Structure 1
Amino acid sequence: MRDSRIVYKFVRAGTARFASPAGDLALAAGDVLAIDAGVSYQIAPDPGYEVTRVGFDRRYIIDQLYWLYTGLLPDRAAAKRMLDAIYRAPIHETRLDQPVLDRVCDILDRLDDALSQPLGLEHHAQAMSLSWSLITELGNLHATPPADPGIATHTSVLDLGARRSGPRTEARAVAELLTTEPGTPWTTAELAARVHLSPSQLRRVFTATYGMPPATYLARARAHRMAALLTEHPDLTISEAALHAGWHSRTHATAAFTRHHGVTPTQYRARTRDDA
């Protein structure tokens, strides 16, 4: 059976030569390679070369893209078409500018720390949130998906320094809070105060950046956390998973979860068990 993973190599420092049947590349700090698992290649590192390797199942990335572009992609089939359009070749190269590289390296370090801790609910949830943050960073490297997701996009590296200047910095800071702390009962006023904006300014800036207001983004983050809990901790009840995700009402949690996943928590857990 074909390996469905995509392996990402984040070059953090130094230089190297990358050789594969598709061609050769000169790698330097800021380069990110997305490689289909099973593709043969060789890397000849120079002194000081430092790289972090992370692998994700394609189905997991498709889920993340679907949640990232909620309201733009109608279903996961459209998210799959988007992923296929982005990664048309078995090896895909992207260059990060320094601010984005610094942010990604921080996520990678925290993810490594979370995975090195003893297995437990808190550390697992933290690792899942950081994985989502990492894929969100990768998703934001590419253009917004077209109105018709069936039309393949021609992706290119964006000028991230310009694209993320100004108000977008505040929006991303709030998104990080919502992603890493979905269990906190955030209000728009509290979030706005964190980034020194008025609530109305935050709603406008955040919606322009992510296509949804902070409250919807938080509900999505909680739905993501709850899905991870249901999958990885079969001993948890639906109510317990909802509470850990940040909801205090199972009814509210079920409604929000179903809106974001298309199935109830009970159906989602049954489906993941069937896929195991």
Structure 2
Amino acid sequence: MDVFGDLFRGVRAHGSLFGSSALTAPWALHFVDGAPLTLATVLNGAGWIVPDDGPPERLGAYETVVVRGPGTFMFVDELDTTAEPLACGEFCSTPDQGGTRHRLGWNDGAAAGAGATTLIVGAYPVRGEISRRLLDALPVVLRVEAGGTGDAVLDHLAAEVALDIPGQQVVLDRLLDWMLVCTLREWFDRPGGEPPAWWAAQRDPVVGEALRLMHSDPAAPWTVASLADRTGVSRATLAKRFADLLGEPPLTYLTRWRMTLAADVLVEQKSATVAAVARAVGYADPFGFSAAFKRVRGVNPTEFRRTAGGVAGR
């Protein structure tokens, strides 16, 4: 498993399509859910994405933005639109168990084909500490222009939205997942961009392989020597290249990743003992695990489970 794939574990569309709408000016849709991640793309026409925090972004045909919550945003025909905002929350979506679940529902029935703007919006619940590392790497709004690898996915989305057949929501969910992955990859790889350190490090033949090894089997008894042996370089070479690209030694990175995994297990598996969680992430001694967890997370595993579990429940 690579780093990017691992961070996507808790990012999945599930009944998450807001809807597709043919809009005629003037319009103003206010998406009030504040979902952790929202993908918005225009199939034809154009409009403006206006986030609570950040400058507006014009969105043309086959252009896509991803908005990071918890702030809300609007989609308007013009920045000085005369339209009264339609709150897409009461009419468009219903929060469910800490995530966001959406239903088709908003539509401008008067819109005709000529001059109409067609918008598709999907929102993503993001659960757990693993996927939070992905959110931390994103700005409030990121924009990807047309002409990239996501265009083919949009063709499929447009065709599927026009249908009303069994299994449609499952297909739309998977297409939205595909679209989100394509959008983030293109944004991280954009010329002149500043992707997170782990994104660039994955491309390095030595550090990338070390990362894959640690993410594929985080509980293994990795040492710098064993990682260097598997990557075909000396310990000194691995340590230097790893620190140069990621800003920390390999085993420091591994400890932080193990504690991230442990944090999700503590919350999601209530019956698991601290000792069992310790073993799951490579610690034979639960006391050593607890000390490492507190050093990284600031609280011991039991306290983290109590506080984080309460927040997740609410």
TM-score computed with the length of structure 2 as normaliser: 0.49
TM-superposed CA distance for 1:194, in Å, is: 2.9
Q: Specify the code of the residue in structure 2 equivalent to 1:224.
A: T
Matched, 1:64 2:137: no
Q: How does 1:1-276 map to 2 (within 5 A)?
A: 3-9=33-39, 19-22=47-50, 23-26=57-60, 33-36=66-69, 38-41=72-75, 44=118, 54-56=124-126, 60=129, 64=133, 86-87=139-140, 91-93=141-143, 141=188, 157-158=193-194, 164=200, 168-275=204-311, 276=313
Stretches of structure 2 lacking an aligned partner (at least 5 in a row): 1-31, 51-56, 77-116, 151-169, 171-180
**The structure with more radius of gyration:** 2
After superposition, give the CA deviation of every residue in 1:65-122 in whole Å (9 maximum; x if it has no partner). 79xxxxxxxxxxxx7xx97xx32xxx33257xx99x9xxxxxxxxxxxxxx9xxxxxx
| Other-structure match for 2:98 | none
Residues 207, 170 of structure 1: CA spacing in aligned structure 2 closer, same or farther, 3 A cutoff? same
Q: Specify the code of the residue in structure 2 equivalent to 1:25.
A: L
TM-superposed CA distance for 1:20, in Å, is: 3.6
After superposition, give the CA deviation of every residue in 1:153-196 in whole Å (9 maximum; x if it has no partner). xxx72389xx9489834223322332342111112222223332
**How far apart are the structure 2 equivalents of 1:247 and 1:167?**
29
TM-superposed CA distance for 1:261, in Å, is: 0.2
**How far apart are the structure 2 equivalents of 1:259 and 1:94?**
39
**How far apart are the structure 2 equivalents of 1:52 and 1:19?**
17
**How far apart are the structure 1 equivalents of 2:247 and 2:292?**
18
Residues 255, 6 of structure 1: CA spacing in aligned structure 2 closer, same or farther, 3 A cutoff? same
**How far apart are the structure 1 equivalents of 2:126 and 2:45?**
24
TM-superposed CA distance for 1:10, in Å, is: 9.6
**How far apart are the structure 2 equivalents of 1:200 and 1:237?**
38
Higher relative contact order (CA 8 A, sep 6+): 2
After superposition, give the CA deviation of every residue in 1:6-59 in whole Å (9 maximum; x if it has no partner). 315499xxx766634535324669x662354653449848xxx9x9964436x9
Stretches of structure 1 lacking an aligned partner (at least 5 in a row): 67-78, 102-115, 117-133, 143-155
Q: Specify the code of the residue in structure 1 equivalent to 2:73.
A: V
Q: Specify the code of the residue in structure 1 equivalent to 2:290.
A: T
TM-score computed with the length of structure 1 as normaliser: 0.55
Residues 190, 243 of structure 1: CA spacing in aligned structure 2 closer, same or farther, 3 A cutoff? same
Give the root-mean-square deviation of aligned CA atoms: 4.6
Contact persistence 1:32–1:94 (CA under 8 A): yes
Q: How many residues align structurally? A: 198
